[in-house]
Amino acid sequence: MKRLLYLVALSGLLSGLPAQANDTNVKQYPVDKQSGLIMAPGWELVNYQCNACHSSLIIPQNGGDEAFWRETIQWMIDTQGLWDLSETWDPVLQYLSTNYPASSDIPMDIFRRLPLESDALPEKPATPGEKG
């Protein structure tokens, strides 16, 4: 009986551990098979808006903090015809920077090869105002 109590107490302790303890809290969400997106809070907003022009698989190939994601999205708004995210800006940035931070490993069970190094990529198209 003592042993049983001990086990009950132990499992209670373990289940109470904060998810962040081992830095895998991002991975506790399943990945949606179709979009390749981590199904963490806010993923639907990204799934609705970020599949229209390219596959959302472009998202796990990139990573960065909130400033990185803000800049990437702003670039699409300024040059690629992406609409203003209006009230979804914050939850979208929150979702992306949390689940696709700079350090995130590219999931090689989804991708065939690593993306090209940025210096091997062509220049991004100029913004309309910059055209000479």
The separation between CA 16 and the C-alpha centre of its own chain, rounded to angstroms, equals: 26
Q: How far is the CB of 88 from ligand HEC (least distance, A)?
A: 8
Judged by CB under 6 A, the residue of 26, 58, 94, 107 near ligand HEC is 58
Q: Among residues 2, 10, 89, which one has the least CA distance to residue 49?
A: 89
**Max CA distance (Å), the chain:** 82
Out of 37, 38, 40, 59, the only residue in the binding site for ligand HEC (CB under 6 A) is 59
Tell me how many degrees the CA angle 15-19-22 measures, rounded to the nearest 5. 110
User: Least separation, in Å, of the C-beta of 109 and ligand HEC?
Assistant: 19
Residue closer to ligand HEC by CB (options 10, 67) is 67
- Helix locations, the chain, DSSP H: 2-15, 43-49, 66-79, 89-99
Using CB under 6 A, count the residues that bind ligand HEC.
16
80 touches ligand HEC (CB under 6 A): yes
Residue 110 engages ligand HEC in binding (rule: CB under 6 A): no
92 lines the binding site for ligand HEC (CB under 6 A): yes
Distances (CA, A) of 14 to 9, 10, 17, 20, 28: 9, 6, 5, 13, 16
Sites for ligand HEC among residues 21-40 (CB under 6 A): none
Strand partners, 31: 38
CB nearer to ligand HEC: give 16 or 81: 81
Note the residues at the interface with ligand HEC (CB under 6 A).
46, 49-50, 52-54, 58-59, 62, 72-73, 76, 80-82, 92
